[in-house]
Amino acid sequence: MKKYKVGYTTGVFDLFHIGHLNILKRAKEQCDHLIVGVSTDEVVQGYKKKTPVIPFEERIAIVEAIKYVDEVVPQTSMDKFEAWEKLKFDAIFHGDDWKGSKMYEEIEKKFSAVGVEMVYFPYTKGTSSTILGDVLTRVLNEQKLAK
């Protein structure tokens, strides 16, 4: 029997990589039903100040195709508690790169009050969509200059 009935995690899932797969797999190992919130382009633009390389509809399709994922929803706000009010999950899963941040300390307090556990997984070092995107941008710019 798994520890949680319903789990939730979110992400941009731009330039999908092994770190994304790791968090989805680890989350599913702990819950019967895994809901994944995929950030809309507007949400990403709001907090990262950039537009994802892969369009939202394609990122949703990629995450839906992952065998560890039971349900995919758009993440239209960074407010995780608002998501809980709609989805009523028992646990929220996240990479530990956010652990200890002011934003996540506040989220943990809110969730603790309603019995939702915050579960952190080790961040996959050396792999990130930001790094992949930066490399891709550099290569594309070099190709333009070479023409």
Q: Is 50 tagged catalytic?
A: yes
How far, in Å, CA of 114 to CA of 24, rounded?
24
Residue 83: φ, ψ to 5°: -65, -40
- Give Cα separations from 106 to 9, 70, 110, 127 (angstroms): 17, 28, 6, 27
Q: Which of 2, 5, 50, 88 is catalytic?
A: 50
From first to last of the 147 residues of the chain, give the pLDDT tens digit.
799 999 999 999 998 988 899 999 999 999 999 999 999 999 999 988 888 889 999 999 999 999 999 999 999 999 999 999 999 999 999 888 878 888 888 889 999 999 999 999 987 776 666 677 777 777 777 777 777
CB 41 within 8 A of CB 3: no
Entry pTM: 0.86
**Cα four-point dihedral sign 49, 53, 57, 58:** negative
Tell me the domains of the chain and their CATH numbers: 4-146 (3.40.50.620)
Q: Which of 48, 49, 88, 147 is catalytic?
A: 48
What local confidence, expressed as pLDDT, does residue 72 receive? 98
Q: Is 5 tagged catalytic?
A: no
